[in-house]
């Protein structure tokens, strides 16, 4: 599995696990910010910029808010 495929899979999995919360997107954004290395976040942002095929809606919403140092 390519690195970006793995990152998409992981992000979607996190979204599934936060989907039980009303503030799922906030939690997802916070999780990515706190636990993912900047290089991983950057790849996800670039992937979304390139279309983001396969990303779940909550992931898209969270990634759009992600800060990159």
Partner 1 sequence: MNHQIGTVVSLMVDGQKVTVPGGTSVMQAAAVVDIKVPKLCATDSLDAFGSCRVCLVEIEGRKGYPASCTTEVEEGMVVHTQSDRLNGLRRNVVELYVSDHPLDCMNCSANGDCELQDTAEALGVESCRYGMDGRNHQDAEKDTSNPYFTFDPSQCIVCYRCVRACDDIQGTFALSVDGRGFASRIIAGQSDSFIESDCVSCGACVDHCPTEALTENTIIEHGLPERSVVTTCAYCGVGCSLVAELKGDQVLRMTPDKHGQANEGHACIKGRFAFGYATHQDRITKPMIRENIDDPWREVSWDEAFRYTADRLRSIQSEYGRDSIGGITSSRCTNEETFLVQKMIRAAFGNNNVDTCARVCHSPTGYGLKTTLGESAGTQAFNSVAHADVVMVMGANPSDAHPVFASRLKHRLRQGAKLIVVDPRRIELVNSPHIRADHHLAVRPGGNVAFINAMAHVVVTEGLEAGDFIAQRCEDEAYRHWREFICNEQNSPEVTERATGIPASELRAAAWLFATASNAAIYYGLGVSEHSQGSTAVMGIANLAMVTGNLGREGVGVNPLRGQNNVQGSCDMGSFPHELPGYRHVSDNAVRKLFENEWNVQLHSEPGLRIPNMFDAAISGHFKGLYVQGEDLAQSDPNTQHVERALKSMECLVVQDIFLNETARFAHVFLPGSSFLEKNGTFTNAERRISMVRKAIEPLAGMEDWEVTMALSNALGYPMNYSHPSEIMDEIARLTPTFTGVSYEKLERMGSIQWPCNEDAQEGTPTMHVGKFVRGKGYFAITGFVPTEERTTRHFPLLLTTGRILSQYNVGAQTRRTANSEFYSEDVLEIHPFDAEERGISQDDWCGVSSRAGNTVLRAVISERMQPGVVYTTFHFPSSGANVVTTDNSDWATNCPEYKVTAVQVSHVSEPSQWQKEYSAFARRQEELLDKARVSD
- Interaction site with partner 1 (CB under 8 A): 1-3, 6-7, 10, 13-14, 16-17, 19-21, 31, 34-40, 69
Give the residue with the Cβ less far from partner 1, 36 or 62.
36
Q: How many helices (H) and strands (E) does the chain have?
A: 4, 0
Closer to partner 1 by CB, 13 or 64: give it. 13
User: Inter-axis angle of helices 38-49 and 24-35, to 10 degrees?
Assistant: 130
- Nearest residue (CB) to partner 1, 10 versus 60: 10
């Amino acid at each position: 599995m390519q690195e970006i495929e793995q990152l998409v899979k992981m992000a979607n999995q996190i979204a599934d696990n936060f989907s039980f919360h009303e503030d799922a997107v906030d939690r997802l954004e916070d999780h990515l910010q706190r636990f993912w290395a900047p290089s991983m976040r950057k790849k996800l942002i670039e992937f979304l910029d390139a279309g983001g095929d396969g990303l779940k809606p909550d992931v898209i919403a969270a990634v759009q808010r992600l800060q990159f140092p």
